[in-house]
Amino acid sequence: MAEQRQDQRDGRGAREGGRDVPEGWRRDVLPEEARAWEALVATARRTVSEGLVVGTSGNVSVRVGETVLVTPTGVPYDRLTPEDVTGVGLDGRQVLGTLVPTSELPMHLAVFRTTDARAVVHTHAVHATAVSTLVPELPVIHYMTAALGGPVRVAPYATYGSEELAENMLRALADRTGCLLQNHGTITYGASLDQAYDRTAQLEWMCRLWLTASSVPGMSPSLLSGGQLAEVAEKLRGYGQRP
């Protein structure tokens, strides 16, 4: 969520939701967490450079063991450094860093608690957000819909950062790896940051495709049937290079 940047490096200690975070809750960063943080920051910067977010809108997270590393609230991604590692436990308790985690933390934690996700990407991509205001489900305009588990649903609107939004999102994500958030944006997850990001990019592209095709006067785009989508889903199981 786009927010005004807070002064979070003023030496007054870690804070969580405006409250002091006890020093004992924090610990040293593990080597694998440092590597994951570097990859997370690179992914967050990519969402900006490729036009999926503007400013500090959107957020990214990655799970390392029982710790979730997440972008902090209101800090431009190009200003993040290795010392800015921000991490929480699955219970939301901050265990790493002094910067306040993203306000969308409830959504990220909900995904990690209920799926096998290792990474989550949330954006305010323009075309996807536009589609979220028009339909309850993205029409099956392209076979890559199968890569997200099936027709992409739209989660009903709720205030950003709220538990209600997280609950709406989980319902829309049932048997899916991505969904739209009404009047808000997108959220996708995957087994890695690259996979979660690629699913976000594919979702935005499909939304743009549907909007473009639907804009031709007097014409309606052809859509894929459930059978056609199921055939693609089966074929995608063997897609890519073998280990």
Alpha-carbon gap, residue 54 to 77, rounded angstroms = 11
Q: How many CA atoms, within 13 angstroms, populate the side-chain half-sphere of residue 195?
A: 13
Q: How many CA atoms lie within 13 Å of 39's alpha carbon, on the beta-carbon side?
A: 21
Catalytic sites, residue numbers = 104
> Which tokens go with 120?
């989550």
